[in-house]
A and B are shown apart, each in its own frame.
Chain A
Amino acid sequence: MAAFDDVDVKEGVDQETVDAVQAMAGKYKYGWETEIEMEYAPKGVNPDIVRLISGKNDEPKWMTEWRLAAFERWTQIEEPTWAMVTYPKIDFQDIYYYARPKSMEEKPKSLDEVDPKLLATYEKLGIPLKEQLILAGVEGAEDVPAEGRKVAVDAVFDSVSVGTTFQEELKKAGVIFCSISEAIREYPDLVKKYLGTVVPVSDNYYATLNSAVFSDGSFVYVPPGVRCPMELSTYFRINAENTGQFERTLIIADKGSYVSYLEGCTAPQRDVAQLHAAVVEIIIEEDAEVKYSTVQNWYPGDENGVGGIYNFVTKRADCRGDRAKIMWTQVETGSAVTWKYPSCILRGDESQGEFYSIAIANNMQQADTGTKMVHLGKKTKSRIVSKGISAGKAQNTYRGLVSMHPKAKESRNYTQCDSLLIGDKCGAHTVPYIEVKNNSSRVEHEATTSKVDDEQLFYCRQRGMGEEEAVALVVNGFVKDVLQALPMEFALEAQALVAISLEGSVG
């Protein structure tokens, strides 16, 4: 709160927004710790650790070798420095790469066998691991129709998946939803076919490290023509100290299928920074559609920048088939440092990519986030809407790429980035790369509040509103739209953001 006491907020910035951002600062709700007996792999990373992790998961030989090759590659490349973030050099040998609750040594056969302490943890986070209709405490739950709304949850605690709900019911529909370690054992052909095909082992420093040491994560396969009967969700919890979380998510939407996937993450409040380096790969075949939503709420560190999560994440969706569709929605409020660019490879003709992002950086937080839209197929479409808010001494950067390849004829991109500064000690930056290599495509990048949709503006003005009022309404309406696009399970966290408006944004 202190950060706001001496801040002169410039005229035109919505007071409700200031209050909402203020309310989020300085009181991290998920900073508590679960006391539970853990077993760790020795600190540091080397081929033996890689083998150990692979061994813990009972992986086949090809997987172990895949990891070792990734490790070998990792030792040859350097940490990237181009993002607009600064942090003390990470000592990669001073981190535990594997931490699992002792009670998880024998994999529980059903949710009933899971350690009550773990169940209590998720209960407290508002994500009870029960096959119930709707998560407790979510506002609006009372409006849910009588037949109910189901969400299957895979809960990842430090390095292992604790349990996955509704697996049987999903199986009846043909949908596979399990931890990636289970998938490597049970569905090796599927994993082998797709793993590393969207984010190659050598993609970037953190992705390469992840390929070597990922311990668990979620796996989803939706067969052709199946509309996944419920939303799928993974909840990531870092609990152990000095431990890095390296999870891997692989989602495959086969021809004509549909799935909505949600992801949430929290961590205890500690004064030593912790590393989270995840990789998410999504494959979308012909006519399939995937919605991927994230509320990223890792511990952001305190107001002096002590502690917090370094969130260095590689997320990418490959629209392989014609008319495939991906929609990324992200609400980024946590982490000390964020380095994250959920991207879309629009390979299939007429495939579509959408990216909606709200990034709020407070105190000493630094966020460098955005997206890449790589248009390869004909008549592909993409839309980027990014809203960045900086307060305190935070730095918030939108970094993105829109690339129209020569063969991506008649494609279309629209990008809109807005930034809002609360106080004069923070920064807001925009670094878009635009590469257009054919002339039948159209690319538009705009970054100003006055550039809202003319038709909407006209509509408002026609009804007697002043221009500014109309712009504010349209922009605010938009932020709310993004939030409303989020699945209900995130409502708890997202509701706090609804008051945010981009009125008074700087560009």
Chain B
Amino acid sequence: MALSQAKMDATEARLSGLTLPEDGGWISASRADAQTRLRAMGMPGRRDEYWKFTRPDTLVQTDTPQAAVFDVTDEAPVFDAIDRLKIVFVDGVFDADASDDLTLAGVSIERLADAGQTDIHWAKDIYGVLETNGQVPVERPLAALNTAYAEDGIVIRATAKVEKPVSLIYLHKSTTSDATLHHVIKVESGAELTVLENGPAAARFNKVMEVEVADNASFHHIRAQGRDHERRAATHLFGRLGTESVFKSFTLTANGVLTRNEVVLELTGDDAQAHVAGAAMGDGDFHHDDTVFITHDAVNCESRQVFKKVLRNGATGVFQGKILVKPDAQKTDGYQISQALLLDDDSQFLAKPELEIYADDVACSHGSTTGAIDEESLFYLQSRGVPANEAQGLLVLAFLAEAIEEIDDSEIADDIRDRLEGWLKRHRD
């Protein structure tokens, strides 16, 4: 369908302030292609069905909305106690001094700019490629924008079981920063890699991560999105899964005026396993959107989506989840649950848990529930001497536990649980 004039104008307005990075090498062609893709689809607009529950205006507008820097003083940074290789970005720019040395057994790590300048690079087969696959049947213009204009990012290739997580830390120091990062990850056959991400990144953040998980490989991803109240983020995680591969991703979001996390996975090899989970807590001016699209295109694969949101003081939670089972993806086991706990009458939860099934020998289920804290449970705890606000905290924690249980590594899961408890204590009254 031809784009409306308004949409074309909005797209050109956005592009007019940007210049394609000139890094030479193979990546220039990928960027030019992405720009063409973006022009064909146009920037997301308020009337687009895929943006029904989340207004894209501030993610699209040319001027970066400002966001005050939030200084966390009441708790140690997340993942602090985890032995990891740290890679630091400040407002979307790689900071070599703050980062660890990028050498680690079983994995090669490069900056995107360096990888892009060569003539031949393995990342060429992934950069913008998984993103392109993910544009059908639903368009994701912000991801194409990212592929075209991302100035920085990390390119990681794991060839063995990597002994410690690679940790991407996104610091936010400028109130007007507009960061665009694009990471490319390849986990080769039989290899295992864990990637951690944390921090608010910028006043406005557009991030794409493309992950190829080869046969028998395993990829774990745990992310904590930072507590800056005013930041905005649009992230895309694209994954392609080979035979008997494992892909597990968990995201914790506490605060943030606008977050849209899209996860787009293709299960292309038989017996693959994909788990995507998230816990989000919002208080006040908070809008959090999890949009997940899982395509089963191979036999006997399993996918799980577990999303929990706790909302108060006018916070909004959104979940758009879809399981697409292609005609030959027999024996698919798809599961999807989205649940929201509304702690007061001003908050809202908007959900669209979708199934599209073209194979007859599959089991797919989706559930979605929304409601307040169970009064009976609250009464039970109070009658046993637990003060009301503590009792509520316990019940909220219990509610979120199902999502945290999706994290395999118990040390990381405990760390995430501590963040939840901290948040609950701070937002008790």
Contacts and interface: CB of A to CB of B under 8 A. Distances in A.
A507 B353 contact: no
A442 B364 contact: no
Given A82-B49, A425-B327, A434 B360 contact: no
Contacts of A9: 360
Contacts of B108: none
A406 B345 contact: yes
B351 A424 contact: no
A450 B347 CA distance: 31
Contacts of B370: 404, 434, 436, 441-443
A9 B361 CA distance: 9
Q: Which of B334, B343, B366 has the most CB of A within 10 A?
A: B366
Contacts of A443: 368-371
Nearest to B375: A440
Central interface residue in A9, A404, A441, A445, by most chain B CB within 10 Å: A445
Contacts of B350: 433-436
B356 interface: yes
A439 interface: yes
Interface string B25-39: 000000000000000
A437 interface: yes
Interface string A418-435: 010111111111111111
B357 A451 contact: no
B133 interface: no
Interface in B338-383: 340, 342-345, 347-372
A507 B334 contact: yes
A432 B366 CA distance: 10
B333 to A, nearest CB: 10
A445 B371 contact: no
B349 A507 contact: no
A198 to B, nearest CB: 24
Contacts of B349: 434-436
B345 A434 contact: no
Q: What size tier do the contact residues of chain A reach?
A: 35 or more
Interface residues of B, number: 37
A411 to B, nearest CB: 11
A421 B357 contact: yes
Contacts of A432: 351-354, 368
A421 to B, nearest CB: 4
A448 interface: yes
Contacts of B330: 424
Contacts of B354: 429-432
Interface in B314-330: 323, 325, 327, 330
A467 interface: no
Contacts of B365: 446-448, 450-451, 507
A507 B358 contact: no
B355 A429 contact: yes
Given A439-B343, A507-B334, A507-B366, A427 B372 contact: no
Contacts, number: 129
A82 B352 CA distance: 15
Nearest to A441: B371
Given A430-B355, A507-B365, A10 B348 contact: no
B146 to A, nearest CB: 27
A507 B357 contact: yes
Contact of A421 (B348, B353, B360, B367): B360
B369 A435 contact: no
B366 A439 contact: no
Given A419-B357, A437-B348, A438-B342, A507 B364 contact: yes
Contacts of A90: none
Given A430-B354, A442-B371, A506-B357, A436 B363 contact: no
Contacts of A10: 360-361
A447 B367 contact: yes
A439 B371 contact: yes
Contacts of A58: none
Contact of A429 (B352, B356, B367): B356
Nearest to A437: B348
Contacts of B340: 436
B342 A439 contact: yes
Contacts of A430: 353-356, 366
A113 interface: no
Contacts of A429: 354-357
B290 to A, nearest CB: 14
B331 to A, nearest CB: 10
Contact of A427 (B342, B344, B357): B357
B345 A445 contact: no
A444 B49 CA distance: 23
A423 B358 CA distance: 10
Contacts of B356: 427, 429-430
Interface string A7-47: 00111000000000000000000000000000000000000
Given A424-B327, A434-B349, A445 B366 contact: yes
A66 B345 CA distance: 41
A507 B345 contact: no
A445 B368 contact: yes
A39 B349 CA distance: 55
Contacts of A433: 350-352
Given A10-B361, A427-B358, A445 B369 contact: yes
A443 B317 CA distance: 15
Contacts of B344: 439
Contact of A439 (B334, B345, B359): B345
Nearest to B367: A446
Nearest to B348: A437
B367 A506 contact: no
Residue with the greatest number of chain A CB neighbours at <10 A, chosen from B327, B351, B357: B357
Contacts of A435: 348-351
Nearest to B1: A81
Nearest to B316: A437
A355 B218 CA distance: 45
Nearest to A428: B357
Contacts of A422: 360
B345 A506 contact: no
B363 A506 contact: yes
B152 to A, nearest CB: 38
A440 B359 CA distance: 39
Interface in A292-307: none
Contacts of A447: 355, 364-367
A424 B368 contact: no
Contacts of A437: 348
A443 B355 CA distance: 19
A424 B361 CA distance: 8
A447 B355 CA distance: 10
A394 to B, nearest CB: 11
11 contacts: A10-B361, A429-B357, A430-B355, A433-B351, A434-B349, A438-B345, A441-B371, A444-B368, A444-B369, A506-B364, A507-B363
Kindly list the 5 A-B residue pairs having the minimum CB-CB distance in the complex, ordered from nearest: A507-B364, A448-B365, A439-B342, A421-B360, A10-B361
Given A421-B359, A438-B348, A448-B367, 16 more contacts: A10-B360, A404-B370, A424-B361, A428-B355, A429-B355, A432-B353, A432-B368, A434-B370, A436-B340, A436-B349, A439-B344, A441-B371, A445-B368, A507-B334, A507-B362, A507-B364
Interface of B: 49, 323, 325, 327, 330, 334, 340, 342-345, 347-372
Interface of A: 9-11, 82, 404, 406, 409, 419, 421-448, 450-451, 506-507
